[in-house]
Amino acid sequence: MSVLLIGGGLVGSQIANILVGQGEDLTILDYSPQPDSLADNVDSSKLRVMQGDILNPLDITRALRESNANQIIHTAAYPMLTIGAQENPYGAVQINIMGTVNVLEAARIHGVERVVAVSSGVLAMFWAGGEDNGESGKEEAYPRPTSFYATTKQAVESLAHNYADFCGVDVRLVRYAAIAGPWRGRGGGGPSNVFRDMVETAIRTGETSVAPQSVEWVYSKDAAKGTVLALQANNPKGRVFNVGTGTVTTPEDMADAVKAALPATKVSVSGQKPTGGFAAVPLSMSRSKTEIGYEPSFDMAGAIRDYAEWYKNRKP
């Protein structure tokens, strides 16, 4: 199997590590490759990295031809996710929607066997409408997203279904909860940066603060595992799979997890609620468990321990 991985960042680097460990032929296409950060998480001598822009269809075609890839994992998104999309809606629409259309169209034209695209758990949170109980002739019959980022992800999911139904492209989607994980490069979203700052401050100073926000987190290694399982699953019934923990972590839960992972740390709950779209209602893991075999490996204390070990041992 030859895989084209679009985006080699926070989660992409962990996907790469799994695929390289499985002996897969892997090529990463990235708009702005970060080789030092990538090398923190995967043996980059065992993969290819190409620079390219998903807004340029010819870059995707070149990557498919040069890699001879028959499967695609598409993780690229507009920087800073919800925050970035609220600040620059046009840029987010271009990359998140049109970039995905370019990937799906390339898959259709070149006969790619399978595509996995990344959606988001924000679709469980940012909704309005639906007051007319689905009566199709009424104005508020159906829910609609209430943030630019959620709108782009709903569009991505709808387009994926359309390409599957009418063009024969086998597209699967993974909806991530808020991502936390080891990554020192650019990318990620508001939640990722909150987690990184919390853990790294605890390691450097012996004390840290926890944001007053209840969040469903997923560790980047689990997000990567769920993505690879979605890629490799044979004939799942569904196309959309939640990849999270199924558990909401309260600020008090987070403080307890920090203390369990880093016992000498002094922890407080303080600050403003972070900007961003992470659901306070847990995502259901039942379909993901049944159809692709996904179960998270890291609870919050385990995620913090793993991140702390990575942070202490990484190369300068």
Dump pLDDT digits (tens) for 241-269. 999 999 999 999 999 999 999 999 999 99
**111 phi-psi bin (left φ>0, alpha ψ -120 to 50, beta other):** left
Q: pLDDT tens for residues 192-251?
A: 999 999 999 999 999 999 989 899 999 999 999 999 999 999 999 999 999 999 999 999
How far is residue 73's CA from residue 9's CA, in Å, rounded to a whole number?
13
Task: Give the predicted TM-score (pTM) of the model.
Answer: 0.95
Q: Output the 3-class SS for 121-168.
A: HHHHCCEEECCCCCCCCCCCCCEEECCHHHHHHHHHHHHHHHHHHHHC
Q: What is the pLDDT of residue 281?
A: 81
Q: What is the pLDDT of residue 274?
A: 53
Q: pLDDT tens for residues 287-309?
A: 999 999 999 999 999 999 999 99
Q: What is the pLDDT of residue 125?
A: 87
Instruction: Tell me the CATH architecture of domain 2-179+220-244+281-296.
Output: 3-Layer(aba) Sandwich (3.40)
Contacts of 219 (CB under 8 A, 6+ apart): 179, 180, 181, 296, 297, 298, 302, 303, 306
Nearest residue to 118 (alpha-carbon basis) of 93, 152, 166, 84: 152
Number of helices (H), then strands (E), belonging to the chain: the values are 12, 13
Is the Cα dihedral 234, 96, 148, 194 positive or negative?
positive
* 169, pLDDT greater than 90: yes
How far is residue 310's CA from residue 312's CA, in Å, rounded to a whole number?
6
